[in-house]
């Protein structure tokens, strides 16, 4: 399972705060980033490329949370809510 929590970094436009589960990226480049750099890096690139529609192309079980520099927060879970954001 890929469970990662990272402190927001001011050097990025999008700061992943939470990535939980086993996301499967349809995009080969994102799948490679997932394998080599981990889920947070893959999600960061997915959101930079596709914006808020990024989770639409991801299968598997996942929860992800991002915070933008302007303070907006984006939360997403997999289609079947296997990885919820509440425990």
pLDDT greater than 80 at residue 1: no
User: Looking at the domain assignment, is residue 86 inside a domain?
Assistant: no
The pLDDT of 76-84, averaged and rounded, is 91
User: Looking at the domain assignment, is residue 47 inside a domain?
Assistant: yes
How far apart are alpha carbons 67 and 3 in whole angstroms? 17
∠ CA 83-86-87, nearest 5°, is: 90
pLDDT greater than 60 at residue 4: no
Helices (H) and strands (E) in the chain, counts: 2, 4
Q: How many domains does the chain have?
A: 1
What is residue 65's three-state secondary structure? Answer: strand
User: Looking at the domain assignment, is residue 83 inside a domain?
Assistant: no
User: Looking at the domain assignment, is residue 41 inside a domain?
Assistant: yes
Percent of the chain past pLDDT 70, that is, above it, reads 80
pLDDT digits (tens, 9 = 90+) for 34-62: 999 999 999 999 999 998 899 999 999 99
User: Looking at the domain assignment, is residue 34 inside a domain?
Assistant: yes
How far apart are alpha carbons 70 and 67 in whole angstroms? 8
- Per the CB < 8 A criterion, the answer to whether 23 and 80 are in contact is no
């Amino acid at each position: 399972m890929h469970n990662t929590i990272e402190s927001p970094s001011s050097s990025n436009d999008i700061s992943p705060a939470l990535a939980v589960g086993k996301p499967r990226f349809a995009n080969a480049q994102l799948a490679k980033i997932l394998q080599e750099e981990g889920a947070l890096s893959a999600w960061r690139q997915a959101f930079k490329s596709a914006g808020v529609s990024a989770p639409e192309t991801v299968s598997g079980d996942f929860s992800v949370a991002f915070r933008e520099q302007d303070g907006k927060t984006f939360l997403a879970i997999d289609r079947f809510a296997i990885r919820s954001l509440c425990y």
